[in-house]
Amino acid sequence: MYIANNETALATRGILTYMPQGIRRYMYGIDLADAREIRLRLGKPLTIHYGDGCFYLAGRAKLSPVPVSALRVTRAHIDEALEIATASSVYSVKDEIKNGFLTIAGGHRIGITGTAVIKEDKISFLKDISALNYRLASEVIGAADKVIPLILSGGRVNNTLIISPPGAGKTTMLRDIARQLSYKSYRVSIVDERREIAALTEGRSAFDLGFSTDVLEGADKASGMLMVLRSMCPDVIITDEIGTQADIDAVEKATNSGAAVIASIHGRNIDMVRRRADLERMLKFFDIVVTLGTSRGCGTVEEAVTL
């Protein structure tokens, strides 16, 4: 049960380097290639989520479907994990932490919960961290096979909105859309505010994004879309998790300037998006809406609507 062979063991070492030593030594030999999340909750058993269920770390290279005798997460584990993830400088990533997550090498995101520190009616930091959720990024070549013909229908790149609940594969889908369009010689610009789509390390992506893809990382989506529009002359702009009025304004400017926009948003379906008055205007800038779900596995295309 999810015991690694030599090949998969090497492939999982990237995330293991972000585990505290007291946990890491028990995880060598566990196959994390198909894992989706690793959750560390203070005082609770460490859990690893796969597509077919949740398993508990019950010993060296041993998983169990029940939490009996499972390794429990301590305050020392949480503190060491944060120290590793922030390179011993929590202050340097305080803006990320106050938003509830950290992005680490490989495009993995660590979700964070704890006690919010409020200043001027806004969250300024999180203290007394109680849980860490390692959401594991993955590359699925061919994930966009069903949507690429829709995106390219009519002899052009259609403005496409991807609606997805959390964990249904929207970021993985965006990566493969970028890859496929790039290999078709479209000039693709990715605006990667949260450093998840491309996961750059020293300017290089951890994923195959094709040969004609440019990445702007760290800039907010609204400013970033306008920046690449001016500087990179893209055929397509790809970005993740839009939703603010500034984002919508930038989508309008980009599409009016001739660049196609492919973006994602959290939601269950198009009807739920339409119910939000602040998002109603956004839909008129898109030609196609694709809804993702998990009915037939992560990244299932549940619905595609032409607007």
13-51 pLDDT, tens digit each: 478 999 999 999 999 889 888 888 999 999 999 999 988
Inter-helix orientation angle 245-256/221-231, to 10°: 20
Q: Which fold would CATH assign to domain 6-135? A: Beta-Lactamase (3.30.450)
Q: What CATH number does the domain located at 148-306 have?
A: 3.40.50.300
Looking at residue 5, what is its pLDDT?
A: 44
Strand 260-266 and strand 160-164: the pairing is parallel
- What ranges do the domains of the chain cover? 6-135, 148-306
Looking at residue 11, what is its pLDDT?
A: 43
Predicted TM-score (pTM) of the model is 0.82
**Alpha-carbon gap, residue 188 to 236, rounded angstroms:** 5
**Alpha-carbon gap, residue 180 to 152, rounded angstroms:** 11
Looking at residue 13, what is its pLDDT?
A: 46
Do 145 and 129 meet the contact criterion of CB atoms below 8 Å apart? no
The DSSP result for the chain, as a single string, is --B--HHHHHHHHHHHTTS-HHHHHHHTTB--TTEEEEEEEBTSB-EEEETTEEEEEEETTEEESS-TTPPBB-HHHHHHHHHHHTTT-GGGGHHHHHTTEEE-TTS-EEEEEEEEEEETTEEEEEEEEEEEEEE-----TTTTTTTHHHHTGGGS---EEEEE-TTSSHHHHHHHHHHHHHHTT--EEEEETTS-SS-EETTEESS---SSEEEEESS-HHHHHHHHHHHT--SEEEES---SHHHHHHHHHHHHTT-EEEEEEE-SSHHHHHH-HHHHHHHTT-SEEEEEESBTBTTEEEEEEE-
Cβ atoms within 10 Å of 298's Cβ, excluding its own: 19
Do 272 and 278 meet the contact criterion of CB atoms below 8 Å apart? no
Looking at residue 253, what is its pLDDT?
A: 96
Structure tokens at 183: 């290999």
Amino acid letter for position 80: E
Do 137 and 171 meet the contact criterion of CB atoms below 8 Å apart? yes
Looking at residue 93, what is its pLDDT?
A: 79
Q: Given the structure tokens 């970033």, which residue do they identify?
A: 224
Residues whose CB is less than 8 angstroms from the CB of residue 286 and which lie 6 or more positions away in sequence, other chains included = 159, 160, 161, 261, 307
pLDDT in tens, 98-122: 888 888 888 888 999 999 988 888 8
Tens place of pLDDT per residue across the chain (307 aa) = 554 444 444 345 478 999 999 999 999 889 888 888 999 999 999 999 988 899 999 988 899 999 988 999 999 999 999 999 988 877 677 877 888 888 888 888 899 999 998 888 888 888 899 999 999 888 889 999 999 999 999 999 999 999 999 888 899 999 999 999 999 999 999 999 988 899 888 888 889 999 999 999 989 999 999 999 999 999 999 999 998 999 999 999 999 999 999 999 999 889 988 888 888 889 999 999 999 998 887 889 999 999 8
Amino acid letter for position 125: F
